[in-house]
Structure 1
Amino acid sequence: MRLTARELNRATLTRQLLLGRQALDVVEAVRRLVALQAQHAASPYLALWNRLAGFDPADLDAAFAEGKVVKATLLRITLHAVHAEDYPPFHEAMQPSLRAPRLGDPRFTSSGITAADADALIGELLAFAAQPRTAAEIQPWIEARLGVPPKGVWWALRSYAPLLHAVTGGPWSFGARPAYIAAGIAPTLGKAADQALQRLVLRYLEGFGPASVADVAQFALVSRSRVRSAMGAQAGVLERLTGPDGTELFDLPDAPRPAADTPAPPRLLPMWDNILLAYADRSRVIPPDYRKLVTRSNGDVLPTLLVDGHVAGVWRPVEEGIEATAFHPLPRETWDQLADEAQALAALLADREPGVYRRYDRWWSDLPGAEGRILPEQTP
């Protein structure tokens, strides 16, 4: 079966709960969404607000506090919030990407200790981190045991040891200075990584399929050869499809794929929303002409306007509400819908952090804008 670009777009939107807000609890929603990029503490909250009916941020606070949703370095070697049951296989699958690059980096090797030394320290580190520990506590602890400057060693260990970010409070559960706590699983150093990657591939296709080998490799930042092997091991399970450009795609049988003309409501997506990062071919959601506008030179991915399932501009909070900048003209009906979204978002932010993402304002200075408005618009 050959799929059109719009059919792929709608498949992503329905699995990512963006064709209409769903009545799900936050823990189940995170499971359905697979992973929420959490590089900025606010982003998982705003991602769920876009997707859930009646979303209450206190519910995500509780899920983090109770350990039902956890935050850790995982996919693309960056912070993600995932369902607690997904953390062990995801962490295991990522070990070749999390461990070897760190232990071969000069920031680690300049310490003078070996990879074996670092691996041997993990058990003691996890015991020390049975309660939340900050970097200011962990680094002196490492120095006392190894007798070397701890910065490079800690930089490596915090990436591949089974450590979670501990809740520290603040408006979004996690503050600017992280604390770490042992994940409660044994360090395996990737001994079962290939088997765990098979689980990760299936979970990815549940949340983002249909997709290619290159898409899965991009999402997780693992080698294409590993992904190809993981898919080959499940050849009898996966359905083979063809993308609009002839690329071979894989999916789960009977997975939802709505019609190309299914309506998609406007949304105000957070920074680093995973639908913008989950594919090697990002044109599924981001028009090619806009990719460099929303993905900045240092990798920052701006909060975006999603219109008809595709990026159409960016937004940021301002004193008067939400400033929305469209990269192409939008119809009045779309602006009215965006105004409703902005009003609800401003109310959510008012109770948490009205100036969320404010430190990224520098990126707006060179953005082209066909049309810009402050939403909700004030009645004269």
Structure 2
Amino acid sequence: MTKTKPAGVLGARALNRATLARQLLLSRSPMSAEDAVGHLVGLQAQNVKPPYYALAARLDGFTPEALSRPMADRTVARLVTMRSTIHTHTADDCLTLRPLVQSARDRELRVFRKGLAGVDLDRLAAHARELVEAEPRTMGQLREALLKVWPDADPQSLSVAARCKLPLVQITPRGLWGRSGQVTLTTAEHWLGRPAEPAPAPDDTVLRYLAAFGPASVKDMQAWAGLTRLREVFERLRPRLLTFHDDNGVELFDLPDAPRPDPDTPAPPRFLPEFDNLLLSHADRGRVVPPEHRGRHWQGNIAYRTFLVDGFLAGLWRLDEHALVVEPFGRLDDRRRGELVAEGERMLGVMHPQGTYDIRFGAVRE
């Protein structure tokens, strides 16, 4: 018999279904790729392919061209924003969210202060801007040019300073599906053809975060954004929000009209890329990662491709030359295996329509 949760308490399954609904993973959305990137407030994109797989899991009718096209048209771009990691963002968010997290990028530079002794960071930013706007450059080319001005500085620290001080976009063909290209950089303003806008009020970004990741705590939002001291923003917004608690008594905030499906709502299996935002955007990831699987989708700084069963992390997957290999963390019954095979066939049909792949189950990762 299922115990009834006290009023105002959201257990792991309730949080799971609410988050999946907002992440477009409970049922696929008909929205465009560009609109989905905006709704999700960006997609983590250390590598080129993950944003494409992320949208394939979330959107009805998605094809890789649906993301490649706006990227080629410069309405979507790749740059460092939250948590000092590369994200795929809409052009509007490139020009606003980066200013919002600039304070975190400035703090990051403190780690490199020894290698930047004697370097005027404002002058470095101005010189680096001139260089990459005159001609897009690789990080190695930019580093060499900066070393000519500051020969005694640490080369790596100079390139980190340029990345932290400027909104450097990775220009295409890097980021396009099926295309290759080394990382070549210019500023967001130069690439997108318009000036950066003032940073949005953090209040607006908190509301967007809750729409995509809520219900959530202050620490959840801070973990996602890589920012600190957001408590006062949540307090300012409190009259406009609902509040709940999780099973551990942590206060959660939410939008009044956001979806909070019944915890027993069916959650179909989904194949997610490495570094999917679903697994990275909360301080407490128990809403998606069961305690017994905590840490199993990471090794060092490497994240694995994962799949969900009943809405929760349930194993890893990979593409071999001619096979989609599914490696569950525990035993799956015939019904679950059949659902995963059907979802795998769909994913392969969307992402690799010209390929021929078998689907096989690897050893169970006990």
- The alignment's TM-score, normalised by the length of structure 2, stands at 0.87
Deviation at 1:176, TM superposition (A): 6.6
Closer, same or farther: CA 280–176 of 1 in aligned 2, 3 Å: farther
1:130-141 alignment to 2 at 5 Å? Answer: 130=133, 131-141=135-145
Q: 1:234-281: CA deviations, max 9, x gaps?
A: 233222222222111111121111111111110111101111111111
1:221-236 alignment to 2 at 5 Å? Answer: 221-223=226-228, 226-236=229-239
Secondary structure (helix, strand or coil) at the match of 1:319 reads coil
Question: Which residue number in structure 2 is paired with residue 301 of structure 1?
Answer: 303
The separation in 1 between residues aligned to 2:291 and 2:111, in whole angstroms, is 33
Q: 1:23-45: CA deviations, max 9, x gaps?
A: 11100111111221101111000
1:16-27 alignment to 2 at 5 Å? Answer: 16-27=23-34
1:359-378 alignment to 2 at 5 Å? Answer: 369=365
Deviation at 1:140, TM superposition (A): 2.5
What is the RMSD of the two structures over their aligned residues, measured on CA atoms? 2.6
The separation in 1 between residues aligned to 2:55 and 2:330, in whole angstroms, is 27
**Of 8, 12, 15, the match for 2:19:** 12
Question: Which residue number in structure 2 is paired with residue 361 of structure 1?
Answer: none
Deviation at 1:137, TM superposition (A): 2.5
Closer, same or farther: CA 148–354 of 1 in aligned 2, 3 Å: farther
The separation in 2 between residues aligned to 1:245 and 1:151, in whole angstroms, is 43
The separation in 2 between residues aligned to 1:352 and 1:183, in whole angstroms, is 35
Query: Deviating runs (4+, > 4 A) in structure 1?
Result: 173-176, 185-188, 351-355
**Of 109, 118, 122, the match for 2:114:** 109
The separation in 1 between residues aligned to 2:57 and 2:268, in whole angstroms, is 10
1:321-360 alignment to 2 at 5 Å? Answer: 321-350=323-352
Closer, same or farther: CA 166–211 of 1 in aligned 2, 3 Å: same
Closer, same or farther: CA 295–187 of 1 in aligned 2, 3 Å: same
2:322 alignment partner AA: E
1:337 alignment partner AA: E
Question: Which residue number in structure 2 is paired with residue 79 of structure 1?
Answer: 86
Q: 1:204-253: CA deviations, max 9, x gaps?
A: 11100110011111111222xx2112212323322222222211111112
Deviation at 1:9, TM superposition (A): 0.6
8 Å Cα contact 1:171/1:353 also seen in 2: no
2:241 alignment partner AA: L
2:209 matched to 1:213?
Answer: no
Closer, same or farther: CA 235–171 of 1 in aligned 2, 3 Å: closer
8 Å Cα contact 1:71/1:164 also seen in 2: yes
**Of 9, 12, 17, the match for 1:2:** 9
Closer, same or farther: CA 170–180 of 1 in aligned 2, 3 Å: closer
The separation in 2 between residues aligned to 1:170 and 1:212, in whole angstroms, is 33
The separation in 2 between residues aligned to 1:353 and 1:249, in whole angstroms, is 45
Gap runs ≥5 in structure 2: 1-7
Deviation at 1:169, TM superposition (A): 4.2
Deviation at 1:321, TM superposition (A): 1.5
Q: Which moved more, 1:72-81 or 1:333-342?
A: 333-342
Question: Which residue number in structure 2 is paired with residue 375 of structure 1?
Answer: none
Q: Which moved more, 1:161-170 or 1:249-258?
A: 161-170
8 Å Cα contact 2:95/2:195 also seen in 1: no
Question: Which residue number in structure 2 is paired with residue 145 of structure 1?
Answer: 149
Secondary structure (helix, strand or coil) at the match of 1:312 reads strand
The separation in 2 between residues aligned to 1:349 and 1:209, in whole angstroms, is 29
Closer, same or farther: CA 265–160 of 1 in aligned 2, 3 Å: farther
Closer, same or farther: CA 174–38 of 1 in aligned 2, 3 Å: farther
1:231-246 alignment to 2 at 5 Å? Answer: 231-246=234-249
Question: Which residue number in structure 2 is paired with residue 204 of structure 1?
Answer: 209
The separation in 1 between residues aligned to 2:231 and 2:181, in whole angstroms, is 38
Q: Which moved more, 1:171-180 or 1:19-28?
A: 171-180
2:160 matched to 1:155?
Answer: yes
Q: 1:40-79: CA deviations, max 9, x gaps?
A: 1110000000011121101211111122222111111111
Closer, same or farther: CA 176–330 of 1 in aligned 2, 3 Å: farther
2:313 matched to 1:286?
Answer: no
Q: Which moved more, 1:151-160 or 1:287-296?
A: 151-160
The separation in 2 between residues aligned to 1:234 and 1:252, in whole angstroms, is 10
Question: Which residue number in structure 1 is paired with residue 275 of structure 2?
Answer: 272
